[in-house]
Chain A
Amino acid sequence: MDIATYVNSMRDPAGLPFYPIVFQFLLVLTFALHITMVNLVVGSTFLSIWEIWKRNSFGLRLAKALGRVITVGLSVAIVLGVAPLLFVQVIYDPFWYTATSLSAFYALMFLVVITLAFYSAYGFYLGNRNADVASAKTGWALVAAGFLLFTALFIHMLSMEQLMPQHWKQWIVSPSGVVSFSGGEFHGIEFGRLLHFLIPSFAVTGVFLMLYSAYFKDREDYDPDYLDYVGKKGAWMAFWASAIAIGAGFWWLGLTPTGFHFARNPIFLAGAILGVVTTAYLGTSLHKPQERAIPSALLMFSSIFVMCCAREALRMKYMSKAGYSIYNYPVNTDWPSTLLFFATFAMGLFVLYFPALAAFEAGRTKSGQVATLDPSIGKKAVSAMIAWFVIVAGLGIIVSVKNGVLF
């Protein structure tokens, strides 16, 4: 059996419930959201350590604010990460399941390490809530940073192993015919690629600081000098990290197989051009971070999204080398469940407007005061979910009665 026969025969026999390109789009979109949040967490962790080491009041205040960002951001990153984890299993199942089975030990260690990173982040946040410049500690943040780097390494390795199907067999089947079941394989580290995911952490965190500075500028109880410090630091970080990330991107490009001619790929070229434009724009924003915060954020996310598309195009190149394409995955269209998801997705955006608005208004209100929202917004959000429940439960009862499985 050759590798092409293997990967194609390992597709799930039930096929896909909808067209593969839809899953692919959702995979890329949700991965872009996930990696942006991961970048924010990693960048904030390292920056908060640096700011405490500087031992000044602005640095401490920023580090405390970032302490909260790390814990909330890590939660959000994990939840956002569920979606690409789901969609990759749908269309790239032979690659995902083989790589994780080969490296089962590390796949599970990933969970242990990220849990430790999470609690270390909480240790940093809760431990420094009442600290002053002299007493602030970085120990837990250092531990969290170390664990976060390990999670990055593990997930990078699992991603890389998926791109190396031609090596899979030799990893676990010895020439004499002994098959290993240890799940302890660890292969494929490529630092150019890993750095291209890690360095943007500082760019994303920089843009976040610009947004932070712009958001709080109307709060009377926020020192304008502090916000100026944060905004300029953010713009500086965003610019330099973006520039270095472009360099890492070209290093990664140099590591791709020459036969792919990936430098000529239109999606890669679009990503590279957008990256350069974003960096140039950030370069002109160094002295006006508050005014340029929102366009910088939009450009930054667009760059990340297009680079995620380029990464997907690269993955398809690797997989086509193994004789695999998602576009001929058998489809057994299931319209009812497809409709369920997209209707719920639209409803979810509607519901999310309410907590987003509440957070925005509360953050904009001076300490000690209470923000007041239009009560109908919250009611509509709750009503939307109750309506979802009534419709789905009603459908469930009808289906159950029709199939004779209710009583």
Chain B
Amino acid sequence: MYPFWEVPIFTSGMVIALIATFHILPCHLATGAFWFTVFVERKAYKQNRPELLEFIKKYSLLILIFCFVIGSLSGVGIWYAATVASPRGISGLIHNYVWGWATEWVFFVIEIASIYVYYYTLGKIDSKSHLMLGWVYAWAAWISMIIITGILAFMLSSGKWVETGGFFDGFFNETYWPQLLTRTAFMFCIAGVYAAIVASTLANKKIRKELVRSAGLWGVAGMLAGVAFAGWYLYRLPAHAKGLWLDESLPYLGHLLNAAAVAYAVVLIWFVVCCLIKPRLVGPVSGILILVILFLGIGAGEGFREGVRRPYIIDQYMYGNQIVAKDIPAKHVKAEIPRFNKDGFLAHLYFRPNKIDPKNRTDLLRAGSVVVHHECGNCHALDRFGKIRPLPVLLANLSPESPGDIQDFLDSLGDYPFMPPFAGNELDKKAASEYLFSIVRR
């Protein structure tokens, strides 16, 4: 195991979740926006209306400054956050999908080259070529979504990969197509919100009204299609994931889904009322408010996707605490739980106390701290004031009288469908129980 990084109160997992949710807005805008841009630019040339190009200039500048600063950095940020919070998890993905990511990188390079040239050559190269640059960007950006969705879907449903170890068997799994289509639809919705905000700042009232309406139509179409595809996506969830959600093993999953639905309904109403019926109601203030609601909705939706994956970080293959859960014979991978149970979890750690005397309580507490951080700390805050599934509070609800009571609880962990089993021998378990009992009493 790599060294563990503890984030007090929120957990390191929450750091990834926050960055990832924040990344969704600029990256979905980056993938969706240029379909709207080329639509408007084509119209400008076809109907000989150069006044529409003012919008193109403003909209593409926003995409440059927002998407290519926040979007590209938050994208790298997810990697960095995953690296420090779940190094074996990201390593597992990278070692199976390195060529997928490298392929996506080729499209990133095309995107960045084409968007800068597009922005800086508006009015400086012939209109047909300029429009083609817009198409190059639009396709490259959407293809990058096609690729990354395969890796995200693999984390939720690893498909035939567990049998074959094949790249495409894991990539094109049961949730891939519905997830791709859902994201594609919602990217038009996000592009619509941004387009409406930018259009509302145009000086020409007629153009403003026309473009806000067009953005509203794109948004409504994206939302309606998105809801339909999201239904298919939910239907295609693996049985285990559906169980966690529908059997109410984890009631918060239902709440997250409801929150996402409410946020999307508010955005849909905004599109219909403010963009289509009364375009003058659209402005930067209402637009930014809608963006915040959209952000919360996306956060809830992504939180649901992460939640139904439990107890895995990669479906069936790796638990949330980064322990390999299953043999993958095609990759010569062995499950680690049996080995840890036999030899001891601590015995396989490099960053641990050099000497552990099982009869010395101080030694046990120090060793237990290491075991608990590694096995529980990815998902649970370990301080009493922690906000994310705080272990001292959760365990206090069981009213343990002694470390032995906690040890019994650790034995039963594997019975919960959303928890990984405890990995380790009697010494690991004893040390972990001592430490957990101490934080309950602290």
Contact = CB atoms under 8 A, between A and B. Distances in A.
5 contacts: A89-B83, A101-B83, A111-B76, A181-B373, A332-B165
Given A100-B84, A352-B113, A399 B353 contact: no
Interface in B130-152: 130, 132-133, 135-136, 139-140, 143, 146
A351 B136 contact: yes
Interface string A329-366: 01010101110110011011001101110110110010
B116 A337 contact: no
Nearest to B131: A378
Interface stretch (A80-88, A210-218, A254-262): A80-88
Contacts, number: 310
B228 interface: no
Interface stretch (A193-201, A273-281, A382-390): A382-390
Contacts of A393: 146
A75 B68 contact: yes
Given A179-B366, A336-B167, A98 B176 contact: no
A356 B109 CA distance: 12
Interface stretch (B120-128, B193-201, B304-312, B422-430): B120-128
Interface in B88-119: 88, 90-92, 94-103, 105-114, 116-118
Contacts of B328: 14
Interface string B1-23: 01111100000100100000000
Nearest to A90: B98
B81 interface: yes
Given A358-B125, A375-B129, A405 B173 contact: yes
B363 interface: yes
A101 B84 contact: yes
Given A6-B350, A90-B94, A100-B84, 18 more contacts: A1-B350, A15-B332, A16-B95, A16-B98, A81-B76, A83-B105, A177-B363, A179-B369, A181-B4, A181-B6, A338-B99, A340-B167, A348-B107, A355-B113, A375-B126, A381-B136, A382-B139, A385-B139
Interface of B: 2-6, 12, 15, 64-65, 68-70, 72-77, 79-81, 83-85, 87-88, 90-92, 94-103, 105-114, 116-118, 120-121, 123-126, 128-130, 132-133, 135-136, 139-140, 143, 146, 159-160, 165-169, 171-174, 176-177, 324, 328, 330-334, 348-356, 363, 366-367, 369-370, 373, 377
A403 interface: yes
A96 interface: yes
A336 B373 contact: no
Nearest to B363: A177
B95 A14 contact: yes
Interface residues on A, range: 35 or more
Scoring A98, A102, A183 by chain B CB atoms within 10 A of each residue's CB, the highest score goes to A183
Contacts of A96: 83
Contact of B101 (A86, A102, A365, A371): A86
A265 interface: no
B11 to A, nearest CB: 12
A12 interface: yes
A177 B110 CA distance: 51
A399 B3 contact: no
A298 interface: no
A129 interface: no
Nearest to B81: A108
A75 B116 contact: yes
B301 to A, nearest CB: 22
A98 B88 CA distance: 10
Contacts of A172: 3, 351
A89 B140 contact: no
A97 interface: yes
B370 A179 contact: yes
A78 interface: yes
A228 interface: no
Contacts of A107: 80, 83-84
A16 B333 CA distance: 12
Nearest to B135: A382
Given A14-B95, A371-B125, A400-B176, A344 B103 contact: yes
Nearest to A5: B350
Task: Give the dominant DSSP class at A's interface.
Answer: helix
Scoring B2, B76, B140, B171 by chain A CB atoms within 10 A of each residue's CB, the highest score goes to B2
Contact of B96 (A17, A341, A379): A17
Given A90-B98, A344-B106, A111 B334 contact: no
A76 B112 contact: yes
Interface stretch (A115-123, A239-247, A288-296, A305-313): A115-123
B112 A108 contact: no
A167 B3 CA distance: 13
Contacts of B331: 13-15, 332
Given A83-B102, A101-B3, A359 B121 contact: yes
Given A14-B92, A100-B83, A399 B354 contact: no
Contacts of B110: 348, 351-352, 355, 385
A405 B171 CA distance: 11
A348 B107 CA distance: 7
Contacts of B121: 358-359, 362, 371
B76 A90 contact: no
B332 A330 contact: yes
Contact of B91 (A89, A104, A377, A400): A89
A373 B133 CA distance: 12
A405 B351 contact: no
A370 B69 contact: no
A173 interface: yes
B372 to A, nearest CB: 11
A339 B354 CA distance: 47
A396 B176 contact: yes
Given A76-B112, A89-B91, A181-B373, A396 B132 contact: no
B350 A354 contact: no
Given A81-B76, A83-B105, A111-B80, A370 B87 contact: no
Interface in A93-115: 93, 96-98, 100-102, 104, 107-108, 110-111, 114-115
